[in-house]
Chain A
């Protein structure tokens, strides 16, 4: 869970003056910004990655965005909240760039019902998709990788809602989608993740049985 960083500059007037200094390219204000706020941004980025290099890269890239966009900061939220959002967006962007997406045929991880609306056998003969999941797992057997490889819309909501435990409202705002879409995509993402994890469990059980 992300601990919402405490505001470094508590007083609103103080923050306004600080922002003015930043907009006016005051070097010492920039140094204060980097030194005072980077630990908080690093702490936010830490919850998205398993590797320290990625966290450092994300913190750096976030500051590039901050430097570019500080003049556009409308001050309708606190500076801390704005920096928090940019960090989350940058982390999601990095994950997007790194991932090798599965094809849309992941949609075949669907539940099936008969004419009475009853649950029938789960359709798990997804062929090459499942093989891809396990090729990937052999390379790096971590849950992080499984989540990163989900289609982007599911990956994002799982990371924000289930892993970071950010509220539905805030998640919707960060991703620029409606709260209903967050709910629908999260439910679908969890179903797909469930199917993948259960498939992995079955394969692991089979491997263990063969080894014995």
Chain B
């Protein structure tokens, strides 16, 4: 597979390298690649296990950060003490 990948990179015009995959990855994830770029990107992925793993890891990282970032439960009402403390800041000025 490595040989095929190198041969294609050498002889197929516009064939992406792994390095180029990295450059296009952000726009691929955002859905901003043109049709032609997207085809080249996917063609490289279909031949390159390392990039497949890398792209999967990249997507997993974004998903993990979105799912695991901890935020406290929303509150129904702002505590009166907080409101008073804020109003006091102003009068203290």
For residue B42, CB closer than 8 A to chain A, the reply is no
Per-position binary interface string of chain A over residues 1-42, scored 1 when its CB falls under 8 Å from any chain B CB and 0 otherwise? 000000000000000000000000000001100110011001
For residue A193, CB closer than 8 A to chain B, the reply is yes
Cβ contact within 8 Å between A119 and B50:
yes
Looking at chain A's contact residues, the main secondary structure is: helix
Cβ contact within 8 Å between A162 and B62:
yes
Query: Which residues of chain A are within 8 angstroms of B4 by Cβ–Cβ distance?
Result: none
For residue B71, CB closer than 8 A to chain A, the reply is yes
The interface size of chain A toward B, counting residues with CB under 8 Å, comes to 44
In whole Å, how far is B75's beta carbon from the nearest beta carbon of chain A?
7
User: Can you list 20 pairs linking A and B with CB atoms under 8 Å apart?
Assistant: A39-B78, A46-B74, A67-B89, A116-B6, A116-B17, A117-B18, A118-B6, A118-B18, A119-B19, A119-B48, A119-B51, A142-B68, A142-B70, A143-B64, A147-B65, A162-B62, A193-B65, A194-B57, A194-B58, A194-B60
Query: Which residues of chain B are within 8 angstroms of A131 by Cβ–Cβ distance?
Result: none
For residue B72, CB closer than 8 A to chain A, the reply is yes
Q: Among B19, B72, B93, point to the contact of A51 (Cβ < 8 A).
A: B72
For residue A63, CB closer than 8 A to chain B, the reply is yes
Query: Which residues of chain A are within 8 angstroms of B72 by Cβ–Cβ distance?
Result: 46, 49-52, 55
Cβ contact within 8 Å between A117 and B68:
no
Using known A-B contacts A117-B20, A119-B18, A119-B50, determine if residue A143 contacts B68 with beta carbons closer than 8 Å: yes
Segment from A71-79, A80-88, A98-106, A184-192 that makes contact with B: A184-192
